[in-house]
Amino acid sequence: MPSSFHRLTISNLSAHAAQQVGMAAAPLIAVTALHADVGQTAWIQLAQMLPFLLLSIPAGVLADRVSRKWLMRSGETLRALSLLCVPFIVMMGAMNIPFLALLGFVGSMGALAYSVSVSALIQGLVSRDVLPIANGRLELTRSIAFIGGPALAGALVAWTGVNQAFMLAATLSVVAIVLLSGIPEAPRGDAPRRHFIAELVEGGRFALQHPLLRPAFGLSVVFNTAFFILQTVFMPYAVTRLNMNAAQIGVTLSMYGIGMVTAGFCVPWMVRRMSMGQMLAGGSMAGLVAVLALMVTLWHPAHWLAGLCFFVLGGGPVLWTVSFTTLRQLITPDELMGRVTSINSLATYGSRPLGAALAGVIGTAFGMEACLYVVTGIFTLEVVLLWMSPLPWLDAQKLKNPQGR
């Protein structure tokens, strides 16, 4: 791998760590300093997620119009400024819940700008045959940040106070910006500038009419909907049916991150031994395997089965993400890459509130156990749709590459 890719890997780690520390520290400061209740904390977390729901597609169009490296640096700069504003406003004694939610929204706008651009930037740094390994390394850094960021934020808040957590997150964003400076960006042809809506429609048409992308996006929606039903219902289920205490629930949920990191380390080995289709199939089927392990607890309430469920839920999607990212890179024209990536973000994040809402409706009307049966049914549907699609039989070496590389 070239040194420029290693710089991008560390930049990606710093950017995701900044995001995780900031997202974890915001509700902590809300509860400890502003005495926020559950509803107010939920509004802050919603504000952090809203840019991915509302602005993914516009960000994708922008990524296809301007320099992607410039967009990533601008996004990280915006996030760093939003993070630095928190301790400054706290020291002034002017911090409140609306301010905190607004700054969280702005910071997530920066995260979105980085995320819709990074997969396109990789293509100019590494050759086609090592794209899966490169994507695996970036996914590993994201997994490490996912585990370490919240823990680091909690430790800093406990030991030194909330201001230091936000200062650290801002510093990590600055590190990501500096590292991006030494990364070359492949030149792009001068595409004719058209109306925003026309460019948006062009990206959507390509993604939804492509015989490989269309089923993959559909599977992403189905998986994430089921996953968030499961995630929403697990906490009350663990307390009432599995008799778990807070520490046991924490250990169980941590298995999700451990599964992510384990799969991230295994990706290079798996890429050399499995086809793209096999990795897509394995990642997609992980949801059904995971929920079946949890379903057994209806009759045999063993804690380790719940841990196994979250371990598989963490590891399986890493295989899917690495393979699907590579698939998009191989078959998407460079001038559409930002928009196609943003559609993937929308499919992923847009289905999450749907899953949470379904969990609330089904759980209230029929109980927690009904939610588990529904999740099992949805994951079963996903597996059926998977095997009805051409995805399990994909061979990356035989894919037509629009870039001619």
Indicate whether 405 pLDDT > 50: no
Average pLDDT on 249-261 reads: 89
Which residues in the chain are classed under CATH 1.20.1250.20? Answer: 3-182, 199-398
Domain at 3-182, CATH homologous superfamily: MFS general substrate transporter like domains (1.20.1250.20)
Indicate whether 193 pLDDT > 70: no
Is the CB of residue 80 less than 8 Å from the CB of residue 170? yes
pLDDT of residue 235: 85
Average pLDDT on 75-101 reads: 93
Q: Which two tokens stand for residue 346?
A: 């929308």
Q: Considering the domain 199-398 in this protein, what is its CATH number? A: 1.20.1250.20
Q: Position 297: which residue type?
A: T
Average pLDDT on 106-127 reads: 91
Say how many CA atoms lie within 13 Å of 196 toward its Cβ: 7
CA distance linking residue 15 with residue 30, whole number of Å: 23
The torsion angles phi and psi of 237, rounded to 5 degrees, stand at: -65, -40
CA distance linking residue 42 with residue 23, whole number of Å: 12
Most confident of 140-144, 199-203, 308-312: 308-312
pLDDT of residue 188: 65
Helix 303-331 × helix 97-122 angle, to 10°: 50
Q: Position 400: which residue type?
A: K
Could you tell me the pLDDT band of residue 36, with boundaries at 50, 70 and 90? confident
Indicate whether 296 pLDDT > 70: yes
- Of 345, 367, 341, 371, nearest to 123 by C-alpha is 341
Q: What percent of the chain has pLDDT over 70?
A: 97
Most confident of 22-26, 234-238, 278-282, 364-368: 278-282
Most confident of 20-29, 118-127, 270-279: 270-279
